[in-house]
Amino acid sequence: MNHDTATKKYVQNSALAIKDEILQSALNKIQSGLGKATALSYQNLDEGPPLRLKAHEIREKTINNLDVVLTRLAAKVRDNGGKVYFARTDKQAVDYCLKVAQQHHVKQVVKGKSMVTEEIGLNPAFEAKGIEVNETDLGEYIVQLAGEKPSHIIAPAAHKTRQQVGRLFEQKLGVPYTEDPPELTRIARKALREKFLTADMGISGCNLACAETGHMTVVSNEGNIRMSTTLPKVHVAIMGMERVVPNLEDHDILFRLLSRGAAAQKLGGYVSYIGGPGGPEFPDGPEEFHLVILDNGRSRILADPKFREILCCIRCSACLNACPVYGKIGGHAYDSTYCGPIGAVLTPLMEGMNQAKDLCLGESLCGACKQACSVNIDLPRMLLELRYRLAYGDDQWETKPVSVVEKTIHQAWALLAGHPALYRAVLTTFALGQKIFPTSKGMITKMPGPGAGWTKSRDIQPLSQTPFRKRFKKLNAQKADR
């Protein structure tokens, strides 16, 4: 896809989303419900809202020592009887999972709660090899049945109504139509139960991995994770390499913030601590446990001091629930694994700044994301940094300048800003020249060029013939006279 196509797609998808009334009401519910409740629940933390600042510190420290912490984690997991694989690319991660599957003659996989498998494209790769993959998180399951992508980090099917789900189940599962949520859940549970019992491999994500204990923590709302990770004989957990904490103490703080940021809960509905294969002492585990630690562009981010902070993200989705742009266009408009403010920063870094430029340009820099973030990540700062790299190009990121025309406009403006007499002269000329534009009630209704976007839905104030700079002296003198 070339860059202009990407822009067109973002703009078109946004426009469609804005017109979609069902989506609008769903987004509205998420933001006015979850978004507000999350903000409140930070206030109600025992340690108070500054805990988010502390969490930021913890995260930064870990990210700055990532190699050491990951080495410890790997050693501990191996001690616990698990196998660890460091995947540099998405392809390596997929290949490793496939290899494990083939070794065990896997026919069916149950999978849950993992954005990272979306990131590496695991499902299509497995399906291409004739292995059936079933999502087990209710939302993910719905999205999978519909052949769509998740539209929200923790509420993947947020864009669907229960009526739509009812029809989907009717079509795909051959059950009678119902729109009763408990009944729909029961249908899904029944369908999934069979999958759990017959699957020979389970794949999960990982919310946090603890180096001190070598365990992974996975939070779910329906308890499906327990089944995916314990019933099949092989379990593979996949984590982005930044999802690690050094010790239980840090784990505790981040974990509490994660649940609050995600759903304004003190603690997630179901919390699984997964720590390797079962054995004589723990008969409940899988026979084999693998941990895949994924780089896929993360060490490049780590190497850039201006973007490193984004690795502090714990994917709680609080920023999505607060962002007014996400609140209007929904997750699909971003056309990437990660959407909302976190996606607006992460996607250009992972998929290419030119390719995903609209994600960082298409934000209003309002700062709501930073205010909402569980770990107080300065997302707006990084949006600005991305725009900076896009403006001039950046060899290290193989980024080309985004627009010569735009650059020229800003150069001209900078010239004026530095030359007051010229600045005044040009504005006076514009004030005279604007008379050709149509007006209504004293405002311009149609502008050409870059202003056309504005006047699509709004009027604009014309330049005054006597601007403030021509008025001040007289005004200030009036008082002196009195």
H helices then E strands: how many in the chain?
A: 24, 12
Token pair listed for 215: 């365990």
Residue from the set 114, 217, 374, 399 that interacts with ligand SF4 by CB under 6 A: 374
Please choose which of ligand SF4, another protein, none residue 476 contacts, taking the beta carbon within 5 to 8 angstroms, the exact cut-off set by kind.
another protein
- The tokens 């494990």 sit on which residue? 100
The binder of 313, among another protein, ligand SF4, none, by C-beta within 5 to 8 A per type, is ligand SF4
Binders of another protein among 368-407, rule CB under 8 A?
Answer: 368, 370-371, 384, 386-392, 402, 406-407
Q: Rounded to an integer, what distance in angstroms lies between the CA atom of residue 237 and that of residue 113?
A: 10
Q: Return the structure tokens found at 201.
A: 């491999």
Nearest alpha-carbon partner for 97 in 20, 246, 231, 204: 204
User: If binding means CB under 8 A, how many residues of this protein chain bind another protein?
Assistant: 69
Nearest CA among 465, 450, 445 for reference residue 412: 450
Report the partner that residue 472 touches, choosing among ligand SF4, another protein, none (CB closer than 5 to 8 A by kind): another protein
Bin 43: left if φ > 0, else alpha if -120 < ψ < 50, else beta: alpha
Binding mask 326-365 for ligand SF4 (x = CB under 6 A): ---------------xx-----------------------
Q: Which residue has the tokens 């790997």?
A: 74
Q: For ligand SF4, what does the binding mask look like between residues 291 and 320, x meaning CB under 6 A?
A: ----------------------xxxxxxx-
Whole-angstrom Cα distance, residue 218 to residue 207?
Answer: 5
> Whole-number minimum distance, CB 302 to another protein, in Å?
21
Binding footprint of ligand SF4, residue count (CB under 6 A): 16
Least distance CB 342 / another protein (angstroms): 17
In this structure, which amino acid lies at residue 355? Answer: Q
Burial 422-433 (b: 16+ CB within 10 A, else e): eeeeeeeeeeee
Stretch that binds another protein, among 74-82, 132-140, 232-240, 445-453 (CB under 8 A): 445-453
Contact assessment for residue 355 and residue 371, using Cβ atoms and an 8 Å cutoff: no
Cβ nearer to another protein, comparing 105 with 482:
482
* Contact present, 248 and 271 (Cβ < 8 Å): no
Among 86, 270, 423, 437, binds another protein (CB under 8 A): 423
Residue 377 touches which member of ligand SF4, another protein, none, C-beta under 5-8 Å by kind: ligand SF4
215-220 and 208-210 beta bridge pairing: antiparallel
**Distance from C-alpha of 130 to C-alpha of 108, rounded to nearest angstrom:** 9
H helix or E strand, kind and range, residue 134 = strand 132-135
Which among ligand SF4, another protein, none contacts residue 314 (Cβ within 5 to 8 A by kind)? ligand SF4
**What type of residue is 225?**
I
Question: 15 to 54, contacts with another protein by CB under 8 A?
Answer: 15, 18
Tally of CB atoms within 10 A around 363: 23
Q: Is residue 352 near another protein by the rule CB under 8 A?
A: no
DSSP states along 48-67: -TTHHHHHHHHHHHHHHTHH
x-or-dash string of contact with ligand SF4, 252-291, rule CB under 6 A: ---------x------------------------------
The footprint of another protein (CB under 8 A) covers: 11, 14-15, 18, 324-325, 328-329, 358, 361-368, 370-371, 384, 386-392, 402, 406-407, 410-411, 413-418, 420, 423, 427, 431, 440-441, 443, 445, 450-454, 456-464, 466-469, 471-472, 475-476, 479
The footprint of ligand SF4 (CB under 6 A) covers: 261, 313-319, 341-342, 372-375, 377, 379
